[in-house]
Structure 1
Amino acid sequence: MPRPADPAKRADLLHRIRGYVLRNGLTSLSLRPLARELGTSDRMLLYYFGTKERMVAEALSLDDRRPLLRFRDVRNATDAPENAAGLRRLLEELWEEFHSPDRRAAMPLQFELMTASVLHPDKYGPLMLDLITEWTDLYAPLFVRLGMSDQGARNEATLLVDATLGLLYGSLADGDWDRATTTFRTLLDRLESGWTPDGT
């Protein structure tokens, strides 16, 4: 019978893998160079994580400061937004967290993952789908709370997720974070009036 994986060793490896991936990117990631830097073997990495893609997914989800984790806490709290103005304030706070300087270091990796999910959908498509689904699933209940139908809430959530990803990507490309913030607020200006049952 194989010996069970050491949880402490696995956790330590995962933290170090995350650091390596942040420094070196995703698309050229190879297990042997990674294992060499970590002082282990590619066979041992597969023993602990099963596949390279699963390893990457766990490494990306390791950050306990992710803005979406905070958003989940707010969504589940009793003081979740009860009106459109409150939801807008929450979305603006989340935007500020996403494009804060300390979050930008991890952002290129997220968009590298997005590109990899298109070029290699069999390997990385599920990871990107999980990310978008997580984000949409966090937004949609907040719109339902304001009185939207389930389908209307998911449509609104999808619009916000896709638009926010586009603005973050554009900001990363041209470095103009102020322009993106102004555009995001303009988007909210146009959407906020629809976040009520009667659209007023």
Structure 2
Amino acid sequence: MTSAPEGTSARYVELLEAAYRYVLDRGISELSLRPLATAIGSSPRVLLYLFDSKDGLVRALLARAREDELALLRSEAHGTLAEAARHVWSWLASAEHAPLLRLWLEAYSRSVIDPDGPWGEFARSTVEDWLAVLAAAQPPAVRRTARGSAERTLALAVLRGALIDLLATGDAKRITASVHRYFA
């Protein structure tokens, strides 16, 4: 469940959660208020009132997705950097997380293409989030060094590339073997 901005109503939270489930199933790039509102038992007018605009709703949905992503990544990233990367990969490769990860890829791509839109800083923020999760798996003395930064950046690049490959091909066996070999 989301941590709603201060002063938001229960209806805001309820509709945000319903909209989040909707975009996990259908994607967010082509989000249209009327079909969304119908599917979640609301109206476009109510959504515009609660979220200020369609862009405001998109930003709220992306923030909601980042909450889930971060909570789950943090729960998996433990041990050494290599162990954390393997644990994170196990989470990423799980079929049950595919809807969230497809949404992540869609939002990440749109953020890179349209950084001035509602996608804004999603890609940059996601990179920072993931690097922070990986940094927590490094000893403090290493974490603060250029070497430590380079190691977690490379780990992130491998995980992100493997995730994109997995989402494109569905070949979990091949990709998992490669990730495990890399982080061995």
**1:102 is matched with which residue: 96, 107, 123?**
96
The size of the alignment, in residue pairs, is 175
- 1:142 alignment partner, SS class: coil
1:186 — aligned with what? 181
C-alpha deviation, 1:66, in angstroms? 4.5
Tell me how far apart the structure 2 counterparts of residues 181 and 52 of structure 1 sit (CA, whole Å): 35
Unpaired runs of 5+ in structure 2? 1-5
Change (3 A) 1:5 1:42: farther
Identity of aligned residues (%): 27
Match of 2:23 in 1: 21
The root-mean-square deviation of aligned C-alpha atoms, in Å, is: 2.5
Q: 1:47 aligns with which of 32, 49, 59?
A: 49
User: Partner of 2:62 in structure 1?
Assistant: 57
Aligned pair partner of 1:113 in 107, 122, 127:
107
Give the number of the structure whose alpha-carbon radius of gyration is greater: 1
TM-score (norm 1): 0.75
Cα deviation for residue 133 of structure 1 reads 0.9
1:140 is matched with 135
Residue 71 of structure 1 deviates from its aligned partner by: 4.1
Bigger drift between 142-151 and 154-163 goes to 142-151
Structure 1 counterpart of 2:86, from 86, 92, 96: 92
Q: TM-score, normalised by structure 2?
A: 0.80
The verdict on how the C-alpha distance between 1:46 and 1:179 changes in structure 2, with shifts beyond 3 A counting, is same
Shift of 1:96: 0.9
Deviation string for 1:61-113 (max 9, x for gaps)?
Answer: 353895213147x5xxxxxx4xxxx4433322221111112112322111111
